[in-house]
């Protein structure tokens, strides 16, 4: 069996792996910094299972970007892991470590450059998680170096003067992106964000407090590298927004980020503040679902009363859409955009603004609504079931 390109790790409303195999269960157990005693025992029983498809497991680990985690947690069970699997995990984990060590110098250089030029910058996503949460330089890989800047024009001039060039089609602002990707000789990739959200239209609809974001910045450091990043509440909120709206809840590594961040900063998180910030920013629904899914998937210590206080945000149609997405292994990016606004009015504004500013999206949205209506149609579902039974 070859490596799998498609995975069924979408959490939806039940992450008990009702249809997943031992390979998915083992990936889930490996996807964290530390495995519990019970987790170790369960992992051992899975590794010893004769029917474990190791090629499928490797494919999942690669797709989910958790190879270093798998390598780390399977070492105690070395005698049960096939030689070719150990070799692949060892080589890829080693390569990840080497990339991260090399990236440290790039991060240091970028930090010094912006500091010398008087440009305020916050590192977001992979870099601060690697430095602050995972600490082990080999665990959390990342591709681009993501930064949020106050003065984009000034930053752009400095980068161009230093030899950075816009990277192909990602080097321009387009229908959704409020960020630009630059590269230096094809070796360093710097993604420059100008807003809290990477989606331009969302930043026009939501109510993000930019002033509070910049005033609350904090410094993190490791391996002699020090950078500024978002404060604790905004790191958590940003992680939820990035995972839900920008990636349609798909991407195991981003659930792991949220899980490990809460594990580290749980005692410092003011959950009332998180809830009120999410409410005032009008992002309560995506934050609620991200916390709910992460808790169900990884056992994240999100207080039950926090989720209970947000339960009123759920809508019946969400359950249907999530179930259909999981059942059909559907692409979810735009479905998430249309279903995750806190109010119907915000959803209407998003669609209308999209069509006014970017009229070519009319066909795009018609296709989306067609998919939604089609997936929710009882007649279509019964027809599909009948066809499957006839086969």
pLDDT tens digits, one per residue of 125-138: 999 999 999 988 89
Q: What is the pLDDT of residue 14?
A: 41
Q: What is the pLDDT of residue 359?
A: 65
In this structure, is residue 387 part of a structural domain? no
Check whether 91 has a pLDDT greater than 80: yes
pLDDT in tens, 143-161: 899 999 999 999 999 999 9
Mark whether 139 and 151 lie in a shared domain: yes
In this structure, is residue 314 part of a structural domain? yes
Mark whether 139 and 240 lie in a shared domain: no
Q: What is the pLDDT of residue 50?
A: 76
Q: Which band of pLDDT confidence, cut at 50, 70 and 90, is reported for residue 268?
A: very high
- Find how far residue 155's CA is from the centre of its chain: 26
In this structure, is residue 89 part of a structural domain? no
pLDDT in tens, 278-337: 999 999 999 998 998 898 888 899 998 998 888 778 777 777 667 666 665 545 455 556
Mark whether 16 and 112 lie in a shared domain: no
pLDDT-above-70 percentage for the chain: 79
In this structure, is residue 270 part of a structural domain? no
Check whether 97 has a pLDDT greater than 50: yes
Q: What is the pLDDT of residue 311?
A: 74
Question: Are the C-beta atoms of residues 288 and 251 closer than 8 Å to each other?
Answer: no
| Cα 365 to Cα 36, 60, 242, 250, 384, distances in angstroms | 45, 32, 21, 21, 24
Q: Which of 81, 116, 150 is the last residue of a domain?
A: 81
Rounded mean pLDDT, 69-96: 95
In this structure, is residue 91 part of a structural domain? no
Mark whether 182 and 123 lie in a shared domain: yes
pLDDT in tens, 348-383: 888 787 777 666 566 666 666 666 566 555 544 444
Domain CATH code at residue 186: 3.30.460.40
Mark whether 298 and 240 lie in a shared domain: yes
Mark whether 102 and 216 lie in a shared domain: yes
DSSP 3-state of 165: strand
Q: Checking DSSP bridges between strand 145-149 and strand 165-166, what pairing results, if any?
A: unpaired
Mark whether 245 and 362 lie in a shared domain: yes
Q: What is the pLDDT of residue 9?
A: 40
Mark whether 354 and 284 lie in a shared domain: yes
C-alpha–C-alpha distance, residues 96 and 93, integer Å:
5
Mark whether 118 and 238 lie in a shared domain: no
Per the model's pLDDT, the better-predicted residue between 371 and 104 turns out to be 104
- The pair of structure tokens assigned to 361 is 């999206």
- The pair of structure tokens assigned to 3 is 């490596």
Check whether 141 has a pLDDT greater than 90: no
Q: What is the pLDDT of residue 352?
A: 82
pLDDT in tens, 217-262: 999 998 889 999 999 999 999 999 988 887 777 788 999 999 999 9
Check whether 85 has a pLDDT greater than 70: yes
Q: Which band of pLDDT confidence, cut at 50, 70 and 90, is reported for residue 169?
A: low
Q: Which of 81, 106, 136 is the last residue of a domain?
A: 81
Mark whether 219 and 238 lie in a shared domain: no
Q: What is the pLDDT of residue 83?
A: 95
pLDDT in tens, 182-218: 999 888 999 999 888 777 778 888 899 999 999 999 9
The parent domain of residue 160 ranges over 98-230
In this structure, is residue 92 part of a structural domain? no
**Where does residue 120 rank: exposed (0-12), middle (13-18), buried (19+ CB within 10 A)?**
middle
Mark whether 247 and 214 lie in a shared domain: no
Mark whether 220 and 125 lie in a shared domain: yes
CA torsion sign for 247, 248, 252, 258 is positive
Query: What total of structural domains would you count in the chain?
Result: 3
- Find how far residue 209's CA is from the centre of its chain: 22
In this structure, is residue 267 part of a structural domain? no
In this structure, is residue 86 part of a structural domain? no
CA torsion sign for 297, 301, 306, 308 is positive
Q: Which band of pLDDT confidence, cut at 50, 70 and 90, is reported for residue 391?
A: very low
Per the model's pLDDT, the better-predicted residue between 380 and 62 turns out to be 62
Q: Which of 25, 47, 81 is the last residue of a domain?
A: 81
DSSP 3-state of 120: coil
Q: What is the pLDDT of residue 387?
A: 42
């Amino acid at each position: 069996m070859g490596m799998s390109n498609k995975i069924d790790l979408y959490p939806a409303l039940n992450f008990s792996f009702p249809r997943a195999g031992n390979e998915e269960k083992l990936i889930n157990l490996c996807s964290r910094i530390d495995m519990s005693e019970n987790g170790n025992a369960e992992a051992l029983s899975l590794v010893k299972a004769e029917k474990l498809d190791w090629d499928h497991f490797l494919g999942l680990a690669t797709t989910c970007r958790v190879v270093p985690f798998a390598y780390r947690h399977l070492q105690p069970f070395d005698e049960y892991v096939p030689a070719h699997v150990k070799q692949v995990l060892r080589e890829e984990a080693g390569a990840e470590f080497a990339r991260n060590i090399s990236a440290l110098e790039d991060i240091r250089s970028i930090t010094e450059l912006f500091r010398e030029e008087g440009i305020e910058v916050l590192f977001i996503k992979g870099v601060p998680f690697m430095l602050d949460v995972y600490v082990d330089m080999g665990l959390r890989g990342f591709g681009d170096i993501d930064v949020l800047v106050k003065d984009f024009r000034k930053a752009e001039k400095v980068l161009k003067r230093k030899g950075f060039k816009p990277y192909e089609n990602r080097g321009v602002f387009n229908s959704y992106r409020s960020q630009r990707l630059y590269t230096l000789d094809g070796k360093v990739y710097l993604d420059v964000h100008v807003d809290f959200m990477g989606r331009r239209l969302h930043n026009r609809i939501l109510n993000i407090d930019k002033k509070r974001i910049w005033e609350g910045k904090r410094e993190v450091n490791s391996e002699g590298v020090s950078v500024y990043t978002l404060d604790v509440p905004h790191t958590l909120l940003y992680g939820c927004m990035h995972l839900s709206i920008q990636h349609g809840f798909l991407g195991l590594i981003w659930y792991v980020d949220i899980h490990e961040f809460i594990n580290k900063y749980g005692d410092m998180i003011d959950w009332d503040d998180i809830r009120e910030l999410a409410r005032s920013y009008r992002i309560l629904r995506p934050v609620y679902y991200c916390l709910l899914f992460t808790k169900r998937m990884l056992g994240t210590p999100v207080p039950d009363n926090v989720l209970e206080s947000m339960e009123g945000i759920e809508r019946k149609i969400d359950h249907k859409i999530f179930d259909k997405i999981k059942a059909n292994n559907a692409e979810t990016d735009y479905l998430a955009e249309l279903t995750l606004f806190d109010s119907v009015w915000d959803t209407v504004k998003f669609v209308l603004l999209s069509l006014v500013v970017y009229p070519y999206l009319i066909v795009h949205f018609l296709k989306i609504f067609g998919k939604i209506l089609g997936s929710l149609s009882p007649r279509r579902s019964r027809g599909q079931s009948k066809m499957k039974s006839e086969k």
